[in-house]
Every structure is written in C-alpha cells, then in structure tokens.
Amino acid sequence: MDKFHIKGGRPLEGRVQISGAKNSALPCMAAALLTPETVILHNIPYVRDIITQRRLLEDIGATVLMPELRTHKITASHIELFEAPYELVKTMRASVLALGPLLARFGKARVSLPGGCAIGTRPIDLHLAGFQHLGATVRLESGDVVARAPRGGRLRGAEIKFDKVTVTGTENLMMAATLAKGTTVLRGAACEPEIADLAELLNSMGARVRGAGTPTITIEGVEALGGAEHTIIPDRIETGTFIVAAAITRGDLEIKGCHPEHSGALIAKLREVGVEIVEVNQSTVHVSCCPNGLRSRDVVTEPYPNFPTDMQAQYMALMTQAEGRSVISETIFENRFMHASEMQRMGARIQIEGHNAIVEGISPLTGARVQASDLRASASLVLAGLAAQGETIIDRVYHIDRGYEKIEDKLKQVGARIERLRDSVTASLQMPRGVEGMAAEVA
C-alpha cells in the first residue's frame, strides 16, 4: 500500500486550485443512467471513487469516454445489466445511487448493500422505504437489494417524509421520481449544495425539480429525459481542508476555483478561532493565520448548512494547535473519532467521551508513524504531519485517494515536503477509454 512521507514544520505559501466535488460528481454520473442520450460532465475530479463509479457504469453497459481528463461523456443507451455488483459497491457506498435511476428507467434493479469508510453505520433503510412509497417492491436477497417497479413498469409519485437527513437518500429518490407518474414531494430532504447541483443537471435533462437545496423538494415526473451538458461544482471539503492547511502551518494561501458561499458555517468558525479568511471574489479566498495565534472554540457537527462532519477531523487537527480547551461534538456518525488515537501518537492531547472529543492545546506535535482509517481521517493526519516537527509516515493513504485529487502534488506546489512512497506491488490505475498518455500523469 502507498504511504505518505511528510517532513513538517514549514509554512505553506502560494496558490491552490480546487477540484470538482466528488460528492456531486458521483450522483451526476449515476443520473446519466436515466436517459439513452449522452450526458457530458465537466470538472470531474480524478479520484478513486470516480474510477469506481465509472467502472460500475461500464460494467452494466454504459459507455464512458474521456476526451479530456476532467470531462466524462456517458451514454447509457445499451444497458445490459441492471445490477451493481458487490466487488464495486463494497468499496464505495455511493454505488447505491445506481438503484434509483435503474429502477425508474427500467423498472428493476439489483444493488449490493454498500460499503465505504469505516466511520459507522450508514443504513439505506430510508432509500428503500422511499422506493416503496413510490410503488416499488423491495426485498433483500443474499446481501443485495432487489427492487421492482409496480405493474406497468413505472413508479408512482408520492409524498415522502425523511425521519433523518440523508444526502444519498435524497439524491436517490429525487432521481427515481423524475420518471415517476405524477408528483413526488420529499420532506425533510438534505440541503447540501451537491443536491442542488444534481437537480440542476436533472433539469437540464428535462426533469422538473423545484426546491433542491431546501428541506422540501418537489419533482413532477416526466415521460423521458434527454442528454445534457453540466459542470460540477467545486469541492467544498477540499476547500476547507486547504484553508485549515494554511492555518495549521501558519502559512499564506490563495485558494482558487472554490465557492465560499458553500462553506459559510466552516469559514465563520475558522474566523472565530483566529484564521484570517478574505473572500477575494466569488471563486477565490485568501487565507492566513492570525499573528496572535489560534484560539480554541467548541464545535458541533450537524447537517448542512451547519458545520460539516466531513471537516470534523481536520478541525480537530487545527485545535491541537490552538490555545485552550475545545470540545468537538460529532452528531452525524457514531464512529468518527478513530483519527484521535493516531494524533495522540504524534503528541496531541485528546480525550474521547462518547460523542465528544476534548482537545487540549497547544500540543507540540512530533512526527510519527500513523495509519489512516477513512477518507477525512487521512486528511487530518496529513495536516497534523505538516504542522509536526520531524518526519511522519502515513499508512493506508488509499483512503485519501478516494476523495482528494493528487493532494500531495498540490501541497508540494505550495511548499510542503511530502512524498508518496509507492509499494512495489501497487497496481496502476486503469485508464479510461479516450484518454491517451495520461498514465504517467496520474501515477
């Protein structure tokens, strides 16, 4: 397995370009299954989860071409299989997003129960209950979800109330409802910017979706959807990660190609702790650390538009370098403090009490050998390594490759001393058709 070797203690300075949002690109790729016409997606990040989603689409019969590295042309005119196999779904829970489009367009779908990061249970019960409200028959069979539309092959519009906020559940049912007969209303829907981005694509394809980005989404079903061209929004979590990278190293970064309005709660909290963030324009922020240092502040993770759980680990790394005590409360996932024990190996003073992490700062961090447990945990360990004195080795960085595009290269461009140590048996990524000469760049 690949590792990162980091020599810390150097401020980051320069300019960083933010990639497209993985969590928007994945459902938009799945949405291409709703039509036999070609869907063109721009600003796709080249990360492992995208590669997995592409392979899933190709396995069931879609054609995915890449005329450019970050552009996907997806044509699902000859779907041969209505099934997402375990071998792919086990590595990425977003694979379950194939269920709604396949069920809506073809009246049947079979998808293995999803996997992904080990950050706690993320059941898809809300997805399945929603499909049943739309008239589908749903059953579990040998670890797979098997769903069929009602007689006649078309789902029926319904009013669906989510008992708990679910991003992928909102996306799955929104896609399914676009081809249902009648009107569907989703209440208690997730409000993330990625939901609104998916709705924008769906409406470009001919869907009638209103209210995406609010708790109530109304979808008026149509007979068929067509092709479209769409540009994926910037990744707000990558944006936040680089803001913290500038602050924790006492650096000075210009972060370009972002949408600051998508990170309002995060930016407000980071300003509160002493990070200087200036919005240069609608797509650029300038970040520097307050000369008086960082101040500890408590935070609670909550659904959007509040502080995101996907930034909790990075914030914890930052709080190790802040004066005083902070309490970080995790309300979304029950097992998302696994990075704390690895930070402790580097000298961090962190105590876990149930859903709370108590961080005592300022902790002088020193390099150590640590292990990543999930996507955002690996990002937090990179941040800790950048701030630490000495050398840090991070094992299992395949986690960070799932969601950050060539993060080590971006960091090196702004002064970080970070290298990827490749295992001799690490297989090279399979390159998509239509791209030539890219293997060396991606490797």
Domain assignment present for 253: yes
Predicted confidence at residue 292, as pLDDT, reads: 86
Contact 101, 176 (CB under 8 A): yes
The answer on pLDDT for 119 being more than 80 is no
Catalytic residues: 117
Nearest Cα to Cα of residue 216 among 175, 166, 254, 160:
160
Domain count for the chain: 2
Q: What is the pLDDT of residues 69-109, one digit of tens each?
A: 899 999 999 998 898 877 777 777 788 899 999 999 999 99
The answer on pLDDT for 124 being more than 90 is no
Say if residue 240 is in the same domain as residue 378.
Answer: yes
Mean pLDDT, residues 212-217: 98
Domain assignment present for 328: yes
Reported pTM? 0.92
Q: What is the pLDDT of residues 374-423, one digit of tens each?
A: 999 999 999 999 999 999 999 999 999 999 999 999 999 999 999 999 87
Say if residue 164 is in the same domain as residue 266.
Answer: no
Q: Are strands 108-112 and 144-148 parallel, antiparallel or unpaired?
A: antiparallel
**Residue ending a domain, choose from 214, 231, 248:** 231
**Which residues span the domain enclosing 411?**
3-19+234-421
Mean pLDDT, residues 106-122: 66
Q: If you write DSSP's letter for every residue of 113-142 in order, what string do you get?
A: PP---SSS----HHHHHHHHHTT-EEEEET
65 forms beta bridges with 73
Say if residue 197 is in the same domain as residue 332.
Answer: no
Say if residue 9 is in the same domain as residue 49.
Answer: no
Contact 388, 8 (CB under 8 A): yes
